[in-house]
Amino acid sequence: MRDEPLDDVPAEPSGPRAAISPWPLLALLVVALLAWFGEQAWHLQREYRSFVQIRASSEAPLEQARKRRAQLESIMRRTFELAQTGNPRATLVLQELARRGVTINPAPGAGTPPGAPAPSPPAPAAPAPTK
């Protein structure tokens, strides 16, 4: 074998190394972040459009359900009024509804939307203190 070194490169560099500039790395980082934010915004916009479309398509069935509920509540109120006047069949219907757990609000307040629970009656007044 030979006793000569295989590479001619000196062990230590002869002069100072040039400093690496951080600006290209920083620019790459900023571009990557902007690309990521752009992709996220694009996905959010797509999901929002999908949500708006689903909401618009479900509006008609919800409106029909509201109308049907208002009709049902009107029928139940009139049945309650008939039972109050002494109609035996209306009374039987109300008893069957009560047995099944359905309660009827005879006259909902003007501010209560249909389907909202009936407001509770006011508490009885306390007796006046005697001297």
| pTM for the whole structure | 0.46
> Looking at residue 30, what is its pLDDT?
97
Predicted confidence band of residue 121 (pLDDT cuts 50, 70, 90): very low
Predicted confidence band of residue 19 (pLDDT cuts 50, 70, 90): confident
Nearest to 78 by CA among 69, 66, 90, 70: 90
Q: Is 47's pLDDT higher than 90?
A: yes
Nearest to 68 by CA among 115, 117, 118: 115
What is the DSSP secondary structure assignment for residue 119, as one 8-state letter? P
Collapsing DSSP to helix, strand or coil, 123 comes out as coil
> Looking at residue 33, what is its pLDDT?
98
Predicted confidence band of residue 7 (pLDDT cuts 50, 70, 90): low
> Looking at residue 102, what is its pLDDT?
84
How many Cβ atoms sit within 10 Å of the Cβ of residue 118? Answer: 13
Positive or negative: CA dihedral 23, 28, 29, 30: positive
> Looking at residue 99, what is its pLDDT?
92
Predicted confidence band of residue 10 (pLDDT cuts 50, 70, 90): low
